[in-house]
Amino acid sequence: IFLEAMSSAVAPIFGVLGSCMGCMIFVENIAKQEPAAMNLMTFSTFLFISTIGLVFTSKFFTVKNQIPLKGYVKTVSMFFIVNVVNNQALNYHVPVPLHIIFRSGSLLATLVLSVVLVGKSYSARKYISVIAITIGIVICTLATSSQGDSGLSMEEASKHYAEWSIGIAMLTFALLASAYLAICQQQMYEQYGKHPDEAMFITHFVSLPFFLIMGGDIVSASTKLSASAPYALLPWFPSLWVDLFASCVLQYGCIKYVYQLNSRVDSLTVTLVVTLRKFLSLIVSIVYFKNPFTAQHWVGAVLVFAGTLAFADIWGGQTSKKQVEKKNQ
């Protein structure tokens, strides 16, 4: 049974790794050339996923929702805030490698809010792993903040550091908001049942009107993308629009495959795959875009990812499983 489950999960696993890592390449390419296009990129992804869901999941609203719209209110609100804030942080000189590592620390925020809001308790191993993750993030953050450009004047350096600090504050807020989002989703599923395709469609579709708030920024970014260099294979088409479309397709695949993986294997395997994807995305970002990554960064990264695996009981999972089976027998 286990081998059958794993064989059925091979495609989703490679789908998660391939689509999520591929998406990061296009996202970082856009961020480097037009950092002000993050709102446009978020809106485009939401619009793409909503369109696919409208056609294939909702069938143009002819399929009745299993979860009432009122059940999505908190989830949609937090989902929109988390996505926008995370992408906006790239506008404030936050390097993508640090962005990836920082978001990998979501376990810390989840643990804190789960204890405070839900009253859960955790083993000593999980608390130790959270400490390791926190230390890793701090090390990487300090390493990145110390990478100053000697060519900057005092005034420019001060402005750069101020903007970078805003970006870090945004990522910190997004971590907490993301943890609260997970709690909202869990409560929604407990009340109405699990309907991942519908939830994926509704959370993106209902969020679209919120983008009217940043309509001016989206239009301005669209103009800048239209002025980008022509794409090699399509000389009449701006290259950044091609990158944007590719990122939307891959982001859709990434989310879709994660949902499929959840339905075929246990949460432990899903956590391992997602963690591996984050680490590989980090390596791609460093190698492909030649981002600076010092020994200090590596120490922090190892602590973050090792702590994440320890939190998920990757090393102790089999022992725990055997104990449960023995108890059942």
DSSP 56-98: HTSTTTTSPPSS-GGGGHHHHHHHHHHHHHHHHGGGGT--HHH
Q: Among 263, 230, 322, 256, which Cα is nearest to 53's? A: 256
Which amino acid appears at position 291 of this protein? N
Which of 30-39, 102-111, 135-144, 233-242 shows the lowest per-residue confidence on average (mean pLDDT)?
A: 102-111
In this prediction, residue 313 has a pLDDT band, given cuts at 50, 70 and 90, of low
pLDDT reported for residue 45: 93
- Identify the pLDDT of residue 156: 59
Q: Which residue has the tokens 């600076």?
A: 292
What the block records as the tokens of 176 is 């907490």
pLDDT of residue 292: 76
pLDDT digit string, tens, across residues 151-178: 445 565 566 778 888 888 898 898 888 8
Looking at residue 1, its pLDDT comes to: 46
Q: How many residues does the chain have?
A: 329
Question: pLDDT tens-digit profile of 12-48?
Answer: 888 888 898 888 889 888 988 998 898 899 899 999 9
Average pLDDT value for the chain:
80
- Indicate the SS3 state at residue 238: strand
pLDDT above 70 for 302: yes
Distance CA 30, CA 224 (A): 11
Residue 5 CB contacts under 8 Å (≥ 6 apart), including other chains: 264, 265
Q: What is the pLDDT of residue 155?
A: 61
User: Taking residues 255-277, what's their average pLDDT?
Assistant: 70
Confidence grade of residue 267 (pLDDT, cut at 50, 70, 90) = low
Q: Is 60 exposed, middle or buried (0-12, 13-18, 19+ CB in 10 A)?
A: exposed
Residue 230 phi, psi (nearest 5): -65, 150
pTM for this predicted structure:
0.74
pLDDT over 90 at 322, yes or no? no
What is the number of H-type helices and E-type strands within the chain? 13, 0
Sign of CA dihedral 241, 246, 249, 251: negative
Q: 230 forms bridges with which residues in the sheet? A: 238
From 180, 143, 178, 133, select the one nearest 164 (Cα to Cα).
143
Query: Could you tell me the two tokens for 302?
Result: 């190892």
